[in-house]
Structure 1
Amino acid sequence: MSTQLSTVGTKSEALKIATVYAILIAISSVHLMNDMMQSVVTALFPVLVDSLHLSLAQIGWIAFTLNMTSSVMQPVVGLISDKRPAPWMLPVGMVSSMLGMAGLAFAPNFYLVLLAVVFVGLGSAVFHPEGSRVVHLAAGNRRAFSQSIYQVGGNFGHMLGPLMTMVIFIPFGQKGAIWGTLLAAAAIIILMKVVPWYKAHLAIHDGKLQQKKAAGHAKVVLAPKVVAFALAILFAIVFARSWYAAAIGNYYQFYVEDTYGLTIKAAQVPLFLFLAAGVAGTFFGGIMADRIGRKKMMLISILGAAPFALVLPHLPLAWVYPLIVLLGFILQSGFSVSVVYAQELMPGKVGTASGLITGLAFGMGGLGAVVLGYMADAYTLGFVMVMCSVLPLIGLLAILLPKDRREAA
C-alpha cells in the first residue's frame, strides 16, 4: 500500500513540473496571429506614405498609437487578471483586433487609420497578460524556455511584416489589410480549445495556493526597495532595446532606400533578416537562460548586440545583410528572459509583471517611433540611425541586477 502511495506521489510531483507543450504551441500560434495583425500596421507604412501622403512624423504617430494603446492597458489588464483571471478575455481581445483590421483596410484618412489602430492595440493589450498567464500555468519547471516558445510566436508574426509588404500591400494596397480579419478568426477558433484548459488549470493552481497558505508555506519575498531598484534597471534595458528596435522596425527600410538606393521591395529584405534572426534568438535565449541564468542571458543579449549596432550605419550594403542577422539574433535573445525575470521578482503577480515588461516595451517603442520620426524629418535618417546605435550600451546596467530568483511564483 505504501508503495502505491509513493508511486502516486511521484506521479503527482511529475505532473506539477511537467511542461504542457500542446497548450504552449497553441497559445504561441495565437500570439503569432496577434502580432501578425500588429505587423499589418507597420507593413502598411510604405503604402500609406504614398496613398495618404503621410509624413514620417505621422507614421511615427501611428506606431505610437498602436504601441501606447497596448502598453497603457497591458499593466491594467495584468493587475485585474492577477486578482480575477478571466479566460474569456482572450477571444474578446481577438474580436477587437478583428474590428481594427477591417477599419484599417478602408480608412480614408490619417485620423481613421489612428482609430482602427486603437482597436488593434486594445486587442493586443488584452491578449498579452492573459496569454502570459497561460504560459506560466503550462510551463512546468522550464519557465524561460516556455516563455521563449510563446515569444517566438509573436516575433515570428512581426517577422512576416516585410513579407506582407512585398507580397500583399505593394500589389493590393491598403485594402489588403482585410485579410487580417481571417487571422483573428483563426485565433478565436484556437482559443476555444485553450480557454477550457485555462479555466481548469486556474482552479487547480488556486487550490494549490490555498493548500500552501493553510500549511504555512510562505514565499520568500525580496524587500520592496530591492524589487523597485531591479524593476527600474529592467525598465532602462527595455527602453534601450525598444527604442533601438523602433528605429530598425519603423525607419530602417526608408534609411536603406535613401542610403543604398534600394527599391521599397528590396528594402524589406534587411528588415526581414533582422526580424527572422530575432525569432531564432528568442528561442535560443530561453534555452540558455534556463541553464546559465536570467541575468547572465540579459547581459549577453543587449551588450553582445552593442558592437554590431554601432557599426551598422557605417557599412557597405554587402556587409549589412550578415551583420543585421547577428544583430537581430543577439538583441532579441534576452527579451523573453526579462519577462520571466520580472515574474520571479514579483511572485504571485504574473499578469502584472508580464504587463509591465511587455507593455513597457510596446510603449517605449511607440514613444521612440514618434520622437525618431520627428528627428528624421528635422535632421536626417542617417543621423537617427547613428544616434540610436549607442542605445544597447545602456545594457551595462544589467550588472546591477539582483541574482536570479527561481522560486515558484
Structure 2
Amino acid sequence: MSTIVEGRVDRRGMGALSAGHLFTDLNQGAVAALLPFLEAHRGISLAAAGALVFASTASSSIIQPLFGVFSDRRPFPALMPLGVLAAGVGIALVGIAPGYLSTLLCVVLSGMGVAAFHPEAARFANYVSSKSGRARGMSFFSVGGNAGFALGPAVATPLVLAFGLPGTLFMAIPAALMAAVLFHELPRLREFRPEEPASGPRRVPAGRDEWGPFVRMTLVVAVRSLVYFGLVSFVSSYYHGTLGTSEAMGNVALTLMLFGGAAGTLIAGPLADRFGRRRVLLASMCLLAPLLFLFSVLGPEAGMVVLVLVGASTVGTFAVTTVMGQEYLPNRIGFAAGVTMGFSIGLGGAGAVPLGVMADHFGLHAVVVVLAFLPVIGAVLAYTLPGKARSSGA
C-alpha cells in the first residue's frame, strides 16, 4: 500500500493522471476545429455541424454521472486507459467516415471515451492526494484537461491541412501511447485505493453523504459554467462586432482568458487547501461580477487585462468544486466527479443557446451585462454552503 505524505501529492501518480486528462480532452477540443473542414469537404450544413457539437457535449458531459455511478458500485480503473483510447480512436475515424451518420457516431464514441475517463480518473486524483492537499492535487489534474482542450485545435488543424481529412487518423497515435502508459501505471495507482475492511468486501462508509450542500454547489457550478461558455462563445464576436476590432484581436482576447483560467487553476487549488474550499469559491464568485461589469465598459486593450482575471476567477475553481463534491458525497466520489466535471458543466454549455438568442435581439453588450449578474446568484448559493464537509473535515 503506497502512502501519501500529509500535504503532498504523489507526483508520479498525478503526472500520469494529468497527462491522461490532457490526451483525453485534446480530442474533445479538436471537434470544433474539424467543423470548418467537414463543412468545406463534405458539404455539411451549419445545423449539421451544430448537431455534431451537441453530440460531443451530450456524450462527453451529460452522461458522465452514469459512469460515476458505475465506478462507485464497481470500481473499474481500466476505464482510464480505455477512455483515452476510445476518445482518440473516435476522433481519428471522423476523417475517414463515409457519411454524416457515421461521422456522428464517431464523435459520440469519442465523447463516451471522455465521459468514461473522467470519474475514475478524478477518483484516483483524490487517492494520490493527501487529505489536506486534495484541492492542490485536483488543480494539477484539472490543468491537464485545460491544456488538452486548448491544444486540440492546434494538433488537429495542421494534420488536416497537411493530409486532408484522413489526417485525423494520426490522432489515434497519442491516444494509444497514453493508454499504454496508463495501463502500465494501473498496478501502482491501485495501491493508493483505501483498504477494504478485513471482514469482507463491503466498504465501511467514509462518512455521511450531504446531498443538500452538494445540490447547491452543483447549481453554483452550473452558473459558473454558463458564464464560462457564454464568454467562450461570444468574446471574439464581442470584440469584432461591439468593440470594432479585428477578428484576430478577438481570438487573442479569448486565448488570454483561457490562459488566465489555466493559471487560476494552479493558484486556486493551494489557496483552497490553506483557506478553505468555500471561501475560495465564494471569493471567485464575488470577484467575477465586478470584473465582468468592468469589462463591459472598457476598451479592447484594457479589457484583455480584465479578461485574464475573469478567466482565472471562472476556470480557477473547477478543481475546487470537484473536491468539494467528493467531500460532500464521500461514498459516491465517482458520481460526484461525474456531476461536477460533466453534467453541471453540460447544463452551463446548453445555456449558451438562449444567450445567443438574446444576442440576436439585444446585442452582445446586453449579453455581457447579463453574464455579470449571474455570479451574484452563484455567490448567494456559495454563501449557503457549509464551511467544511462534516464527513471530511476539509
**Same fold by TM-score, threshold 0.5 exceeded?**
yes
Matches of 1:96 and 1:237, distance apart in 2: 31
Counterpart of 2:319 in structure 1 is: 336
Work out the CA distance in 2 between the residues paired with 1:368 and 1:175.
34
Whether 1:131 and 2:121 are equivalent positions in the alignment is yes
Q: Which moved more, 1:78-87 or 1:166-175?
A: 166-175
CA distance in 2, matches of 1:45, 1:66: 12
SS at match of 1:206: coil
Q: Are 2:221 and 2:345, in contact at CA under 8 Å, matched by a contact in 1?
A: no
Q: Which amino acid is 2:185 matched to?
A: V
Residues 362, 60 of structure 1: alpha-carbon distance in 2 compared, 3 angstrom cutoff: farther
Query: C-alpha separation between the residues in 2 aligned to 1:112 and 1:198?
Result: 36
Distance, in Å, in 2 between the alignment partners of 1:48 and 1:313 is: 35
2:80 to 90, 105, 130: 90
2:392 is the counterpart of 1:402: no
Deviation of 1:187 after TM superposition, in Å, equals 1.8
2:91 is aligned with 1:101: yes
1:37, 1:183 within 8 Å by CA — same for their partners in 2? no
Task: Tell me what 2:252 maps to.
Answer: 269
2:148 to 149, 157, 169: 157
Task: For 1:275, give the aligned amino acid.
Answer: L
Q: Distance in 2 between matches of 1:111 and 1:244?
A: 32
Shift of 1:74: 1.2
Amino acid at match of 2:208: V
Structure 1 residues 197 and 268, CA, compared in 2 at 3 Å: closer, same or farther?
same
Shift of 1:352: 1.2
- Looking at structure 2, the residues matched to 166 and 317 of structure 1 have their Cα atoms a distance apart, in angstroms, of 28
User: Residue in 2 aligned with 1:7?
Assistant: none
1:320-359, aligned counterparts within 5 Å? 320-359=303-342
Aligned counterpart, 2:208: 221
Aligned residue identity for 1:192: F
Alignment RMSD, CA only? Answer: 3.4
Aligned length, in residue pairs: 390
Structure 1 distance, partners of 2:102, 2:124, is 34
Choose 371-380 or 26-35, whichever is displaced more: 371-380
- Distance across 1 between alignment mates of 2:163 and 2:236: 19
Match of 2:16 in 1: 26
* CA shift for structure 1 position 70: 2.0
Q: Which residue in the other structure is 1:4 paired with?
A: none
Within a 5 Å distance, the mapping from 1:36-47 to structure 2 comes to 36-45=26-35
1:119 to 109, 118, 124: 109
- Distance change >3 Å, CA 378–CA 218, structure 1 → 2: closer
Shift of 1:175: 5.4
Structure 1 pair 174–368 and aligned structure 2 pair: CA distance change class (3 A): farther
How many Å apart are 1:39 and its aligned residue? Answer: 0.8
Q: Bigger CA drift: 189-198 or 256-265? A: 256-265
CA contact (8 A) 1:89 1:126 kept: yes
Cα deviation code 1:265-286 (max 9, x no counterpart): 5442222111111111011111
- Residue 115 of structure 1 and its aligned partner are, at CA, apart by 2.9
Identical positions, percent: 31
- Alpha-carbon distance in 2 for matches of 1:358, 1:191: 21
Alignment match, 1:65:
55
Partner residue of 1:252?
A: 235
3-state SS of paired residue (1:389): helix
Deviation at 1:334, TM superposition (A): 1.4
> Is 136-145 or 67-76 further displaced after alignment?
67-76
Alignment of 1:200-211 (within 5 A): 200-202=191-193, 205-207=194-196, 209-210=197-198
Contact 1:212 1:218 in 2 (8 A): no
Post-superposition CA distance 1:169-215 (Å, at most 9, x none): 7787755544432331232122122222233443xx233x457999x
1:75 corresponds in structure 2 to 65
1:339-367: CA deviations, max 9, x gaps? 11111111122111111111223321431
Tell me the distance in 2 between the aligned counterparts of 1:169 and 1:348.
Answer: 45
The code of the aligned residue for 1:278 comes to G
In structure 1, what residue type is equivalent to 2:389? R
Structure 1 position 40, deviation (Å): 0.7
> Can you give the 5+ residue segments of structure 2 that lack an aligned partner in the other structure?
none
Inter-CA distance 180–353: structure 2 relative to 1 (3 Å threshold)? same
Letter of the 1:221 partner, please give it: R
User: Could you list the runs of 5+ residues in structure 1 that have no partner in the other structure?
Assistant: 1-10
Which residue, 188, 193, 201 being the options, matches 1:197? 188
User: Is residue 2:374 matched to residue 1:391?
Assistant: yes
- Aligned-partner SS, 1:85: coil
1:116 Cα deviation after fit? 2.8
Counterpart of 2:290 in structure 1: which amino acid? P
